[in-house]
Chain A
Amino acid sequence: MSFFARFRRQRLGLLGGLVLLMLALVVAFAGFFSPYDPQTQHRQFPYVPPMLGRLHFRDEEGFHLRPFVYGLERVRDPFALDWVYVEDKSEKYPVYLFVRGEEYRLLGLFKTDIHLFGTGTEGDSPGQLFLLGTDKLGRDLLARVLAGGQISLGLGLLVVLVCLVVGVLIGGFSGYYGGAVDTLLQRSVEVVMSIPRLALLLALSAALPPELPATTRFWGIAVVLALVGWAPLARVIRGQFLRYREEEFILAARANGSGSGRIIFRHILPNTFSYLIVAATLTAPALIILESILSFFNFGIQEPLISWGMLLQEAQSVFQLQFHPWLLLPAGCIVLVVLAFNFLGDALRDAVDPHLTLIER
């Protein structure tokens, strides 16, 4: 049975892949799928609970196909003395598809102001539509979760690619040439891997000066993650190279007069592709988790950039969990992504080689 035939039999793996694909699409077009800009502060509306339940189809006139929301009014709850939001039934705002709203850049390239849904621009329709609620400054959580996904997913994939390249170079040469270089490299990899990953990661990102601009910091975090992440991949790749370098087709290639560079990149590397893909799929969720832990601990991504871990910082105190539990939503996104990656990775691994243990958990 071919690799693809075996992979297709893994339903959960397919499902994981599908979920990831859809998430990637939605996140890439974050501006289009969210009615507001993630940075816009609706100062009159802090901590609005999710409004999914406040989408109405029915009013006193009967049923409408087009859903609408009532105006929001902030009042003091006379018993708990907290602010609560009630619906102001005198105002009604229908929800339109492909509505014009705040300007944004689609994929960072094209300027446009068309959003998938919304109640129209703030100017001509003050209706508020916070499907997933707002944070302390009244910023739309849906927009922030989608924007956070751009960095959480993007950074994870970027770092995996860097780790793969570094891993192939170092692991490949180490496995192909063997000898003293190999021993030295393997010993250093072992020593670095015996330092606990998270402790090293925290220490490295603590070394990034706090006054760095957010984008520079983003690249710094990427470098730090890559520094910690390449070693296990290099080991896997080295093992593969060790296995293939004694094979007869390599001997044949050498007899043909191929140089070592050609043998490494043209003859051995393509044979290890399936393993590389599996290793990458299983490394990506680990990196996404590490990034979110860093950002959650305030050592990682910082405002004005958004990542899921950073969003969860706000949910850290018991008080917030008690009164504004919707701030936990980014946690659900992290779990979903990691779960999908793990399903996909497991299915790929089973399709490549069921007895493979690639990444030590």
Chain B
Amino acid sequence: MWGYVLRRVLYMVPALFFISVVAFGVIKLNPGDFLTKYELSYPREVLQEMRERYGLDAPLHVQYWRWITGILTRLDFGYSFATRQPALQALFSSGRLLWTFVVTGVTMLCTWLLALPLGIYSATHRNSLGDRLANLLGFIGLSIPSFVLALVLLWALVVIFQVGPRYGLGVGGLFDPAQAEAAWSWAKVKDLLWHLWPAVLVIGAGNIASLSRYMRGQLLDVLDEPYIQAARAKGLRERLVVYKHAVRNALTPLVSMLGFWLPQMFEGTLVAAVVLQLPIVEGAYWQALAQEDQYVAMSGLLFFSAVLMVGSLLADLLLLWVDPRIRLEK
């Protein structure tokens, strides 16, 4: 077990190194740099001096070497030109990192809480009207791109529920301007929840759909098993049969889906961050790209890849833990 974990972690080292090269290369593909757009407003000598100071005039491999040694020796991910602070701070500061985990965690929780009952209902009421409806909704949930869903939600909030700037209620961000600076109170929590649910829906819709469909399929498979028949034959109530015998066994394979989830959730989070203006890391990454803030963008790419890798490792370990049938030895 620990050998397996060690092997996976060791494998991550060359992978992350390779990714750092890709991230650096992709961002440096852009022929300009942050100073390019100032070329008209500042004299050439000033810009040249700036480039020398920040090492932007060095050959690419030298720049890469400086960047990667900075990370490895001093945890220095480079400098954010646009926000004038270290790149890591530009990505994580003002609570962005924390809010990223809050938003992601709440979304995951809501996904399970919504998708599992939906899947169980669909499986136990197979081919009923509710099942068909859930199936259709699932298909739509899988097919609607996250940014379209974000736009439609915004539209519904503004036009149907009549909230929005005109009515003194914000729909973007995580708090209303009035609450953002205030101390924590019930009103602030309520405000947060009100701003959170569109984000949760935008990020989670696809996963809610696929998870509930998957749950339905798994549960239907399990309900066909002989031991379920046996449980029914000995006179167990249907509720016990379903929840104690079937659902438990249907849940295990669902954990293996966690690995696929994370990348998909990331896309939704990025879109939600931009359209709903959430103060999370993905939003900072997008801004860095738009402003050609190179080191922040590189560090962002590296950070996201690392998080996804660790996430998929954790998902695999969780699967190992819940499903004792899986063996590591070849």
Q: Which residues of A contact B (CB under 8 A)?
A: 188, 190-192, 194-200, 202-204, 206-207, 209, 285, 289, 292-293, 296-299, 312, 315-316, 318-319, 321-322, 325, 328, 331, 334-335, 338-339, 342-343, 360-361
Q: How far is the CB of A259 from chain B (nearest CB, A)?
A: 34
Q: Which residues of B contact A (CB under 8 A)?
A: 15, 18-19, 22-23, 26-27, 29-32, 139-140, 142-148, 151-152, 154-155, 158-159, 164-166, 171-172, 206, 210, 260, 263-264, 266-267, 270-271, 274-275, 285-286, 289-290, 292, 297, 300-301, 304-305, 308-309, 312
Contact of A196 among B142, B166, B266 (CB under 8 A): B266
State the main secondary structure of chain A at its contact with B.
Answer: helix
Q: Knowing A321-B159, A322-B164 touch, does A209 contact B143 (C-beta < 8 A)?
A: no
**Given A293-B147, A315-B151, 12 other A-B residues pairs in contact with their CB atoms under 8 A:** A195-B19, A195-B308, A207-B29, A209-B32, A322-B159, A328-B151, A334-B148, A338-B144, A339-B140, A339-B143, A342-B139, A360-B260
Contact of A199 among B31, B139, B166, B304 (CB under 8 A): B304
Cβ contacts under 8 Å, B26 to chain A: 200, 203-204, 207
Question: What is the CA–CA distance of A207 and B30 in the complex, to the nearest angstrom?
Answer: 4
Which residue of chain A is the closest to B162 with respect to CB atoms? A322
Question: What is the CA–CA distance of A198 and B270 in the complex, to the nearest angstrom?
Answer: 8
Question: What is the CA–CA distance of A322 and B167 in the complex, to the nearest angstrom?
Answer: 12
| Count of chain A to chain B residue pairs whose CB atoms are closer than 8 Å in the complex | 131
State the main secondary structure of chain B at its contact with A.
Answer: helix
Asked if residues A191 and B18 are in contact (CB atoms below 8 Å), the reply is: yes
Q: How far is the CB of A10 from chain B (nearest CB, A)?
A: 13
Contact of B289 among A188, A195, A203, A338 (CB under 8 A): A203
Asked if residues B289 and A194 are in contact (CB atoms below 8 Å), the reply is: no
Asked if residues B274 and A321 are in contact (CB atoms below 8 Å), the reply is: no
Cβ contacts under 8 Å, B27 to chain A: 203, 206-207
Give the residue among B19, B148, B260, B271 with the most A Cβ atoms within 10 A.
Answer: B148
Asked if residues A342 and B270 are in contact (CB atoms below 8 Å), the reply is: no
Asked if residues A289 and B29 are in contact (CB atoms below 8 Å), the reply is: no
Q: Knowing A296-B147, A315-B151, A325-B155 touch, does A194 contact B30 (C-beta < 8 A)?
A: no
Q: Knowing A207-B27, A293-B271, A339-B139 touch, does A199 contact B266 (C-beta < 8 A)?
A: yes
Which residue of chain B is the closest to A198 with respect to CB atoms? B267
Q: Knowing A293-B147, A339-B143 touch, does A203 contact B297 (C-beta < 8 A)?
A: yes
Contact of B152 among A296, A299, A328 (CB under 8 A): A328
Asked if residues B210 and A361 are in contact (CB atoms below 8 Å), the reply is: yes
Question: What is the CA–CA distance of A316 and B151 in the complex, to the nearest angstrom?
Answer: 7
Asked if residues B266 and A198 are in contact (CB atoms below 8 Å), the reply is: yes
